[in-house]
Amino acid sequence: MAKFMESKYQNVEEKVYHAKSGWLMLVCSLLLYALAIVGVVFGGIRLDADEADPVGILLFVVSLLWLSLGWLLWIGLKVVRPNEALVLTLFGRYIGTLKEDGFFFVNPFCVSFNPAAKTKLNQSGDVKPENSIVSGIQVNTASGASAGTVSNKISLKVMTLNNNRQKINDCLGNPVEIGIAVMWRVVDTAKAVFNVDNYKEYLSLQCDSALREIVRIYPYDVAPGVDTTGDGIADEGSLRGSADLVATRIRDKIQEKVHFAGLEIVEARITYLAYAPEIAAVMLQRQQASAIIDARKMIVDGAVGMVQMALDKINHEDICSLDDERKAQMVANLLVVLCGNRDAQPVVNTGSIY
């Protein structure tokens, strides 16, 4: 899918933008403001002495223009923190990404662009109390929010996305609820901004899609005759027993889908896994029945071994001689005692066993 999109659509490559120091520009602009104030004063004095003085007119006009328009340079002052980036465009043309941390000066007409600035994912550091959650994506609904209060900086930190739990049918058709946590980061700011409409929404939707694709391959628990690897051989893979393998396959599937958007999936982990409520009680009874059967099998195996040991001990010590009928009766009695759920009630025989 990523290769198809890269071949069909224009793939924008990231360019590093090297900006000048903002401190130098700030100091120079303040000095020019001081000189402009002096120029206005001296120009006014010369005009008072001679209204036709060309030097006075030039000095006054130039100084006044700088006082009126000099602040435009301050628009180009940018502060970038560590692990942050600014994607800069000049009249719609991408000119580069500012990734260095510090105080810089860029072209005042450059605009920082981030279409996902207002999109809030369900993750730490990105969730606001006044936001509403829709399918793992948080949309700012605060009435006071405006475009001017939203930062267009792109975070390059590793972030954790916790999408809402999904109800998905496993390979046997049983509905299960599953949730995942995806650790991700932006590695190519140009692809993230220009190749997709909103890289945060794109990531969230691709996580849901990849999760459904992988979960449908596995049963919730180990089931006979199920091939989860695609090699045509039945295996013991399951969502509950192969959580690490399932998480790795989910991570690889998401990475395949979001590579076109310049994102890297660092890790994916299953955070919640359970049967859907409508079948949870029935599946619990099934698990209990399976556990009871396994326990009974173990008890019977142990009881048979103990009976065999008792008979061997009697024969070896030559305690008494038992015919086949008495041996069968003894075996039956011992099995009843060893395999019963309640304590045995002994019966004392005061007569002969024959």
Query: What confidence tens digit (pLDDT) does each residue in 268-323 have?
Result: 999 998 888 876 666 677 677 777 777 778 877 777 888 788 777 777 777 777 67
Domains of the chain are 10-112 (no CATH), 155-275 (3.30.479.30), 283-339 (no CATH)
User: What is the pLDDT at residue 205?
Assistant: 92
| Helices and strands counted in the chain (H then E) | 8, 14
Q: pLDDT tens digit string along 247-279?
A: 999 999 999 999 999 999 999 999 998 888 876
Cα distances (Å, whole numbers) of residue 73 to 34, 67, 79, 110, 353: 15, 12, 14, 11, 114
Q: Which pLDDT does position 203 carry in this prediction?
A: 93
Q: What is the pLDDT of residue 350?
A: 56
Distance, CA of 9 to chain centre: 27
| Sequence-ordered list of residues with C-beta below 8 angstroms from that of 165, at least 6 positions apart, any chain | 177, 178, 179, 272
pLDDT at residue 301, rounded to an integer: 79
Q: Output the pLDDT for position 62.
A: 85
pLDDT at position 354, please?
A: 53
Beta strands in 4-130 (DSSP E): 20-21, 77-80, 84-90, 93-98, 102-105, 110-112, 119-121
Lookup: tokens for 90: 């000049």
Taking CA atoms, 264 is separated from 80, 194, 251, 259, in Å, by: 22, 16, 10, 7
Q: Which residues of the chain have pLDDT under 50?
A: 4, 127-148
Q: Is the pTM of this model over 0.85?
A: no
pLDDT score at 265: 95
Of 253, 169, 238, the residue nearest 203 (C-alpha): 253
Residue 145, pLDDT score: 39
pLDDT of residue 343: 64
